[in-house]
Amino acid sequence: MAYRLRNAVFADAPQLAEKHVRTFREAHGGGPPVSLREQQWATVLSKDSPDDSTFVVEDESGSLVGFARVEATPDPDPLACQGHLSKIYVLRAHHGRGIGRSLLLEAARRLRKMGANSMNLFGDARNPSNGFYERMGAERTYAENGDFHGGYGWRDLGKLLAAD
């Protein structure tokens, strides 16, 4: 099956909301309803900001099967991440086909274009997808008390992109 990665547009908000709810439930259970997610995505996609980017992967029929969103987070602290991967989801039926890798690498490319050289994400410490982040070179980040809280970081996006 062929997949296509493209920028999300405002018209994607309904389908993006449905896929967001579905993939979130597959990964974590629960979550807000589609109606709320649709409002949120409509708001995000109506902005024209140079500091964030949302992109999707669709299958041959044009149905969304995955998506990601990144935001540049300029921070004067050289140890802080300069970019944030705020969303990355792939429908479970499409796992293992390279879609997550494509989304992650595209996230790194887009953040580099925004001037970021590092990236972080925050997820559920118990999520089985964490192994994917670690295979892709992410380092675990820890709370002040030493507990792993589900955070990951890539200190050098160039190194991540070199793996492509």
Q: What is the DSSP letter of 72?
A: E
Q: How many domains does the chain have?
A: 1
Q: What's the CA gap between 47 and 45, in Å, rounded?
A: 5
Position 75 scores a pLDDT of 64
Helix axes 13-28, 34-46, angle to 10 degrees: 130
Spatial distance between the Cα atoms of 40 and 35, rounded to a whole number of angstroms: 9
Name the residue range of residue 145's domain: 4-162
pTM as predicted: 0.92
User: From the CB of residue 163, how many other CB atoms can be counted at a distance below 10 Å?
Assistant: 12
Residue 155 in tokens: 């200190």
Residue 20's domain is classified under what CATH number?
A: 3.40.630.30
The pLDDT score that the predictor gives to residue 78 is 54
Per-residue model confidence (pLDDT) at position 76 = 57
What percentage of residues in the chain have a pLDDT greater than 70? 96
**pLDDT tops 70 at residue 127:** yes
**Hunting for tokens 């809280």 — which residue is that?**
149
- Give the confidence band of 74 by pLDDT, cuts at 50, 70, 90: low
